[in-house]
């Protein structure tokens, strides 16, 4: 007997200009918002000032936490919680990329709970819902606007992992492609590489279902035709829209079907060698695909087709290999390194990287079962 569930309680506002609804949407969920975002980019782009105007016009107070830089960390979450408690916030808004959304998501989820954020990242169960959380993505990559987990770094313990709860889905997500126009090329490439990776990993994951397959296929169609384009010309709004909707659909799918070995290995590698999440995911993707080939042949063959490879006359195995090549070619064109060679990943670190990868839920959802020797084999391939 099979019984898959698909759950997404988020109201998604979508379309160019839907950001203008922020005040109205926020007012329906609370009276004072903790707004988490980065330090400079959104201010310069005029997005943060407009968000503050929209909230104010709707009568929603705002406590601004604008210290989210780089990957999201526990100290950012603790600072956000302290500010939100001090200011009496009853709502959190994440405005930015995956980092800002995950910090806001964790602030909302953990604020009413006893215990420190570190305890929850170490495995303490989240037992009840937190504050409402609203997601406003300004990059196209993580799909965090549609997922129930926050990925965080604990600098003291030296770990990067996630806290999750069914109540942590955003109450509302404002998915406005115009907000992504300002993202610089490097950010666009890394985030887009993550979006491509998430759609492919979820498509072949052991938790995939007809619904997640449909989402992943359309995500791949959009990302496949627009990722290189958006890196070449960031002002192409149609391509930006493809990327943002592709990223959203990948997020909706992964929240229900889980990911794969790339994401299982990306957290320890990214944290140890300070590699942005999107870069390490995109870099590992063709290597993991090549390792998975015999376990996901039909779906990889379909990916080749979706990515525009002419597969007519090819055997499934050949078409599946062509998908690996197509992904490697996209990486080359958007400037993702092909191997780990330049990042200094010494062999003496491999046992720790392998040990940290193995407990990952993503790794367990990979179509090819992954034991220590399998993770090592992928590292051998990726090191170049
Ligand atoms: Fe990711």
Q: How far is the CA of 286 from the centre of ligand 1 (A)?
A: 15
Q: Where are the domains of the chain?
A: 11-180, 185-383
**Which are the contacts of 260, defined by CB distance < 8 A and separation ≥ 6?**
201, 202, 204, 205, 288, 292, 362, 363, 365, 366, 367
Percent share of the chain, pLDDT over 70: 100
Q: How far is the CA of 297 from the centre of ligand 1 (A)?
A: 23
Q: pLDDT per residue over 152-170, tens digit each?
A: 999 998 888 899 999 999 9
Q: How far is the CA of 273 from the centre of ligand 1 (A)?
A: 17
CA-based Rg of the chain, rounded to a whole angstrom? 20
Q: How far is the CA of 194 from the centre of ligand 1 (A)?
A: 5
Q: pLDDT per residue over 75-105, tens digit each?
A: 999 999 999 999 999 999 999 999 999 999 9
**Helices (H), ranges, the chain:** 22-27, 41-44, 47-57, 74-86, 98-110, 117-121, 185-204, 210-232, 237-257, 261-273, 277-292, 297-306, 316-334, 350-357, 361-364, 372-383
- SS3 call for 172: strand
Nearest to 267 by CA among 258, 259, 277: 277
CA distance 202 to 252: 10
- Tell me the average pLDDT across 337-342: 96
In the numeric block, the tokens 């169960």 are attached to 125
Q: How far is the CA of 313 from the centre of ligand 1 (A)?
A: 34
Q: How far is the CA of 287 from the centre of ligand 1 (A)?
A: 16
Q: What pLDDT score was predicted for residue 202? A: 98
Furthest CA-CA distance within the chain? 65
Q: How far is the CA of 341 from the centre of ligand 1 (A)?
A: 21
- Tell me the average pLDDT across 360-376: 97
Q: Which CATH class is domain 11-180?
A: alpha beta
pLDDT-derived band at 11, boundaries 50, 70, 90: very high
Q: pLDDT per residue over 193-220, tens digit each?
A: 999 999 999 999 999 999 999 999 999 9
Nearest to 322 by CA among 306, 339, 300, 338: 300
Q: How far is the CA of 217 from the centre of ligand 1 (A)?
A: 17
Please compute, for residue 47, the number of CA atoms within 13 A of its CA located in the half-sphere on the CB side: 29
- Tokens representing 19 are 């950001």
Q: How far is the CA of 183 from the centre of ligand 1 (A)?
A: 18
CA distance 111 to 47: 26
Nearest to 282 by CA among 195, 374, 182, 163: 195
What is the CATH topology of the domain spanning 185-383? Dehydroquinate synthase-like, alpha domain (1.20.1090)
* Contacts of 235-239 spanning 24+ positions with Cβ under 8 A: 235/181, 237/16, 237/177, 237/178, 237/181
Q: pLDDT per residue over 258-275, tens digit each?
A: 999 999 999 999 999 999
Q: How far is the CA of 191 from the centre of ligand 1 (A)?
A: 8
Q: How far is the CA of 254 from the centre of ligand 1 (A)?
A: 10
Chain mean pLDDT for the chain: 96
Partner residues linked to 150 by β-bridges:
163
Q: pLDDT per residue over 295-324, tens digit each?
A: 999 999 999 999 999 999 999 999 999 999
Q: What pLDDT score was predicted for residue 1? A: 75
Q: How far is the CA of 57 from the centre of ligand 1 (A)?
A: 35
- Tokens representing 310 are 């002419």
Nearest to 200 by CA among 327, 12, 342, 85: 327
- Tell me the average pLDDT across 109-129: 95
Q: How far is the CA of 25 from the centre of ligand 1 (A)?
A: 27
CA distance 65 to 76: 9
Please compute, for residue 215, the number of CA atoms within 13 A of its CA located in the half-sphere on the CB side: 28
The pTM of this model reads: 0.96
Q: Are strands 149-154 and 159-164 parallel, antiparallel or unpaired?
A: antiparallel
Q: What pLDDT score was predicted for residue 42? A: 96
């Amino acid at each position: 007997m099979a019984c898959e569930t698909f759950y997404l309680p988020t109201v998604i506002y979508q379309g160019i200009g839907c950001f203008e609804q922020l005040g109205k949407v926020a007012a329906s969920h609370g009276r004072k918002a903790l707004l988490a975002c980065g330090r400079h980019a959104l201010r310069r782009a005029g997005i943060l000032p407009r968000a503050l105007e929209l909230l104010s016009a709707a009568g929603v107070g705002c406590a601004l936490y604008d210290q989210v830089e780089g990957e999201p960390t526990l100290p950012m979450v603790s600072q956000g919680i302290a500010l939100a408690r001090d200011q009496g916030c009853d709502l959190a808004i994440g405005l930015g990329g995956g980092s800002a959304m995950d910090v806001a998501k964790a602030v909302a989820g953990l604020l009413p709970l006893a215990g420190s954020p570190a305890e929850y990242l170490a495995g303490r169960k989240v037992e009840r819902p937190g504050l409402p959380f609203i997601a406003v993505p300004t990059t196209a990559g993580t799909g965090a606007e549609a997922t129930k987990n926050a990925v965080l770094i604990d600098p003291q313990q030296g770990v990067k992992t996630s806290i999750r709860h069914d109540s942590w889905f955003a109450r509302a997500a404002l998915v406005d492609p115009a907000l992504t126009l300002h993202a610089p090329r490097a950010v666009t490439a890394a985030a887009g590489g993550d979006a491509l990776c998430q759609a492919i990993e979820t498509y072949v994951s052991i938790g995939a279902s007809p619904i997640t397959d449909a989402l992943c296929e359309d995500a791949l169609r959009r990302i496949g035709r627009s990722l290189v384009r958006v890196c070449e010309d960031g002002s192409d709004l149609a391509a930006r829209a493809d990327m943002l909707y592709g990223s959203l659909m990948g997020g909706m799918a992964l929240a229900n079907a889980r990911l794969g070995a790339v994401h299982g290995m990306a957290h320890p590698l990214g944290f140890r060698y300070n590699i942005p999440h999107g870069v390490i995911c995109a870099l590992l993707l063709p290597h993991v695909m090549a390792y998975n080939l015999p376990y996901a042949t039909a779906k990889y063959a379909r990916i080749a087709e979706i990515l525009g490879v002419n597969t007519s006359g090819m055997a499934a195995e050949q078409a599946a290999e062509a998908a690996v090549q197509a992904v490697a070619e996209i990486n080359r064109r958007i400037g993702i390194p092909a191997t780990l060679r330049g990042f200094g990943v010494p062999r003496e670190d491999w046992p720790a990287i392998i040990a940290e990868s193995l407990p990952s839920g993503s790794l367990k959802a990979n179509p090819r079962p992954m034991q220590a020797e399998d993770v090592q084999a992928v590292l051998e391939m990726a090191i170049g």
